[in-house]
Amino acid sequence: MHPNVARVVDAARATGLEITVERFPAGTRTAEDAARAVGCEVAQIVKSLVFVAGDEAREATGFAIGGVPPFGHARALTVLVDRDLERHERLWAAAGLPDAVFRISPDDLRRASGGRVIDLAVSS
């Protein structure tokens, strides 16, 4: 198991959550790629966005863009969970690499990430 994936699995396990990581050779770097690979709607893909000031995403999370998971970061970060994710029974999130994802429920996502649910999506 790649060290990045192991870190995500270990972080999930530390919260009492067992996840199964799936790898896709074609990659899951974008939400569209991930949705196509796992056979779900783009709305079911957890997008881990990192907002930093004078810092880099990789330094803050320990993961390269395209593989940033919602937990298991290199340092403590504030995590916000979009309320729209709660509309889905099953979500998919990055598991530390651009070709690795795992399935998670909205409740487990919130619990494992320590995230605060807020309205992030902009409606038109």
What per-residue confidence (pLDDT) applies to 57? 85
Q: Comparing C-alpha atoms, which of 33, 34, 57, 122 is closest to residue 83?
A: 122
Q: Comparing C-alpha atoms, which of 109, 55, 69 is closest to residue 87?
A: 109
Residue 53 has pLDDT above 80, yes or no: no
- Average pLDDT (41-61) is 85
CATH number of 3-114: 3.90.960.10
Query: pLDDT digits over 62-93, tens only?
Result: 998 889 999 999 999 999 999 999 999 999 99
What per-residue confidence (pLDDT) applies to 51? 80
Which pLDDT band holds residue 55 (cuts at 50, 70, 90)? Answer: confident
Q: Do the Cβ atoms of 91 and 115 come closer than 8 Å?
A: no
Cα–Cα distance for residue pair 80/94, rounded to 1 Å: 16
Q: What pTM value is reported for the model?
A: 0.86
Cα–Cα distance for residue pair 10/29, rounded to 1 Å: 22
Query: pLDDT digits over 29-45, tens only?
Result: 889 999 999 999 999 99
Give me the percent of the chain exceeding a pLDDT of 70.
96
What per-residue confidence (pLDDT) applies to 26? 82
Residue 5 has pLDDT above 70, yes or no: yes
Q: Which residues lie across from 22 on neighbouring strands?
A: 101
What per-residue confidence (pLDDT) applies to 91? 97
Q: Do the Cβ atoms of 36 and 62 come closer than 8 Å?
A: no
Q: What is the side-by-side strand order in the sheet with 21-23?
A: 21-23, 100-104, 91-94
